[in-house]
Structure 1
Amino acid sequence: MRSSRAETPGGPDAGTGFIVLAAYQPDPELFARQVRSIREQTITDWRCIITADGGPEGVVDLLREAVGDDSRFEVAGYEERLGFYGNFERGLRSVPSDAAWVALSDQDDYWLPTKLATMIPHLTEVAAVAAQARVVRYPSGDVVSETTGRRDVPIDDYILNNQYTGGMMLFRAEVLETALPFPRLPTPAEVHDHWLAVVAHFRGGARVIPDIVQDYVQHDGNVIGEARSERFNPFRSWQTVKRIVGRYEASLSPRAVARVTYNVGVGWREAMMLALGARLPLDTPDLARVLALYGPNRRFWRTLRATVRAARRGDVSPRSLVEYFAGWVLGGVFRLRSRG
């Protein structure tokens, strides 16, 4: 039972799904277009909870201008700003336990009218499904890519190289029984979609489908956005590390750089494994194997062999492989590994 989650007054009717849209100072045009695309879904039995990070002022007015008095939409405003990770978690706590399904939404994308109708049937076979999007530049409308190219790969591989993007995901409400509360590790790798997909595997399976169901809009305000390339670029990676270190550490000292590199790669995976190990029976299928690869008692050569094989299959990008083991090596040099 999810006793820590808020109950929605009145509860949903049988078959009602819940869409959680995390908002923070949304662009008015993009926000209006997104909520209208939700309104126009061919599946109509749903409620949309919009969690306004940093307060509801402005979001309520934008919503009213976009969809009028459509009672399926509601805004939950929070004065305390938590960032997208904590804001999605707050919204998911509001989803009742008997919800038929749960979808996540960004504030600035665009859903095709048949998105929900395309994805919901898969939940009869798996606990979570993710689809593809067309990548579009705003405001020019230029198509960056006709597809996001996410792949349906084994759990061992998407723990290292996430294939699930929140705004393209839909899952059974029961996933939240294990997923909440979210694990915590202050690092840019701490993302809700990765965690939810990993949990979903152990609650009935997760799947990536090839269908294009939306536009994934890229603009200057994206928190994460779509990576331009999976090819490893040492200069770009170093620039990224410096930017991240400046956010999470007080200096650019070698130890600070090592700690951030370690947490982004190794630390976040370990945080997920620790949460899974504490919340699931240890005889859960596949759990012992992924704990051995990425958990606190992982061993370097065992994990390296498994991930190199995945890279050769094309299931893990070279960049993800290099960044993960760079963090592992730096963690060893600076004695950052405290568990196992």
Structure 2
Amino acid sequence: MTPPDNLLPSKDVTLLMGVHNGAAFLPEQLGSISEQSYPHWHVIFSDDGSTDDTPSVLKTFAAKHPGQVVVKAGPELGFSANFMQLIRDLPDDANHVGFADQDDIWMPDKLARGMAALQDSGEIPTLYAARRWYWRPETDQRHPSPLIERSCCFRNALIENVASGNAILLNPAAARLAREAAQLTDRVFAHDWWLYLLITGAGGQVIFDNGPPCLLYRQHEANVIGAGHSLAQQAKRKLAVLRGAFSDRLQSNILALDQARGLLTEENRQILDEFSAARGAPFMPRLTGLRRIGPFRQTVLGNIGFWGAATLGRI
């Protein structure tokens, strides 16, 4: 249960939002942010070269919320690079940091729930994540994202991301860690998966909120990474795994972690190195090495899929 806002400490939350040609969706999302029951927020937007009315929408929002909005120019290298630049540019004394996508709609208590969960995290780098509604606005069809019932740890993060960027909040210790790591890191596949790997790899903790979904995650054709629930979408993803897409993502994650490996614990550096070696090994050493490391996904079907890909050498 979320405590009333007046019982929570008045700590600011810096929201980072990468935007690009989002004028069709931004008004609803910005309205949901402005209506949060936790009012101590400000937003830093990074506009990645929008050619629609996005700048005008952001200007109007800034005028309505003086002192709470900053708009910057993005690197124009894609959504992940845009968010990574926002993380690099955080101040040394960053407080709580959250992430927002341009096309979602937040539940009114989203920030309050996250801040309540993080209030006793202290100096342990802590990432908060939560469930979402997969939302089809044309029919208002909603499906909740699954419960997370297994540990959120480095061995899980190696092969699966359960911390979706639009639901992430970082405590100050995690925000400082992310800023330091981002300044050492060139590029990543996805900033949210990288954050999950980094926080767990550095010995931090993850608080996953299995309560009601905290936002409407809009599903549409322009999603960079969508939910992919239909049979056609699932078949497309499995075909992509066979063509090497999953392997490419794992390799990108490994390279990014290597750039900031000094921030990982000694145990997790060893796990990362063993995982990297196992991926490139012949059939039996590959499976033996992976079993020794013990990477896992949250569901039985997810684990079957991973070990099938591992057996076929597609990791």
* 1:214 CA displacement: 1.1
Conserved 8 A contact 2:155-2:295: no
Contact 1:15 1:99 in 2 (8 A): no
Q: Is the 8 A contact 1:175 1:196 kept in 2?
A: no
For 1:273 and 1:321, locate their aligned partners in 2 and report how far apart those are by CA, in whole Å. 23
- Cα deviation code 1:69-104 (max 9, x no counterpart): 2121222123x5111110001222232222220000
Measured in 2, the distance between the counterparts of 1:152 and 1:100 equals 29
Residues 1:88 and 2:74 are matched in the alignment: no
> Compared with structure 1, are the counterparts of its residues 57 and 74 closer, same or farther at alpha carbon in structure 2 (3 Å cutoff)?
farther
- 2:280 equivalent to 1:291: no
**One-letter code aligned to 1:146:** P
Residue segments in structure 2 that go unaligned for 5+ positions in a row: 1-9, 280-284
* 52, 58, 72: which one aligns with 2:53: 58
Distance 1:321 1:207, change over 3 A: farther
> Which residue of structure 2 aligns with residue 42 of structure 1?
37
Match of 1:228 in 2: 229
Change (3 A) 1:178 1:95: closer
Distance across 2 between alignment mates of 1:65 and 1:312: 42
State the distance in 1 between where 2:177 and 2:40 align: 20
1:96 maps to a residue whose letter is P
Task: Identify the residue that residue 338 of structure 1 maps to in structure 2.
Answer: none
State the one-letter code of the partner of 2:228: A
Aligned partner letter, 1:147: S
Normalised to the residue count of structure 1, the TM-score between the two structures is 0.73
Tell me the equivalent position of 2:217.
Answer: 216
**TM-score (normalizing by structure 2):** 0.78
Query: Alpha carbons of 1:77 and 1:148: their partners in 2 closer, same or farther (altered >3 Å)?
Result: farther
Relative to structure 1, the CA distance from residue 309 to residue 91 in structure 2 (aligned partners, 3 Å threshold; closer, same or farther) is: closer
Distance 1:61 1:268 in 2: 35
Q: Which residue of 2 aligns with 1:310?
A: 296
Amino acid at match of 2:210: P
Task: Check whether the contact 1:51–1:75 (CA below 8 A) recurs between aligned residues.
Answer: yes
Whichever residue aligns with residue 223 of structure 2, its letter is N
Over residues 120-148 of structure 1, what are the superposed CA-to-partner deviations in whole Å (9 max), with x where a residue is unaligned? 233333511100111111232211x1334
Alignment match, 1:132: 131
Aligned to 1:115: 110
- Structure 1 window deviating more from structure 2 (200-209 vs 288-297): it is 288-297
C-alpha deviation, 1:55, in angstroms = 4.8
Map 1:241-280 to 2 at 5 A.
257=243, 262-265=247-250, 267-277=251-261, 279-280=262-263
User: Deviation of residue 293 (structure 1)?
Assistant: 3.8
Instruction: Give the counterpart letter for 1:210 in structure 2.
Output: N
Between the aligned partners of 1:86 and 1:318, the Cα distance in structure 2 is: 32
Q: 1:182 to 1:21 in 2, by over 3 A?
A: farther
Q: Who is 1:334 aligned against?
A: none
Matched with 1:24 is 20
CA distance in 2, matches of 1:35, 1:311: 34
Equivalent of residue 175 in structure 1, options 168, 174, 177 = 177
Secondary structure of 1:25's counterpart equals coil
Pair 1:136–1:273, CA change in 2 (3 A): same
The code of the aligned residue for 1:290 comes to I
Whether contact under 8 Å (1:307, 1:321) holds in the other structure is no
In structure 2, what is the Cα distance between the partners aligned to 1:262 and 1:234?
A: 17
Deviations along 1:188-238, one digit per CA (max 9) or x if unpaired, are: xx11101111111225212222022111111111000113179x9666522
Q: What's the CA shift for 1:114?
A: 1.0
RMSD between aligned residues: 3.3
* CA distance, structure 1, for counterparts of residue 267 and residue 302 of structure 2: 19
1:103 alignment partner, SS class: strand
- Deviation per CA, 1:242-293: give whole Å up to 9, x if none: 9xxxxxxxxxxxxxx56x564234x13422441342x326xx2642452244
Q: CA deviation at 1:182?
A: 6.7
| 2:80 aligned with 1:73 | no
Q: Deviations over 1:302-338 (max 9, x none)?
A: 4431577836974953333433554xx368xxxxxxx
Distance in 2 between residues matched to 1:223 and 1:182, nearest whole Å:
25
Aligned residue identity for 1:180: A
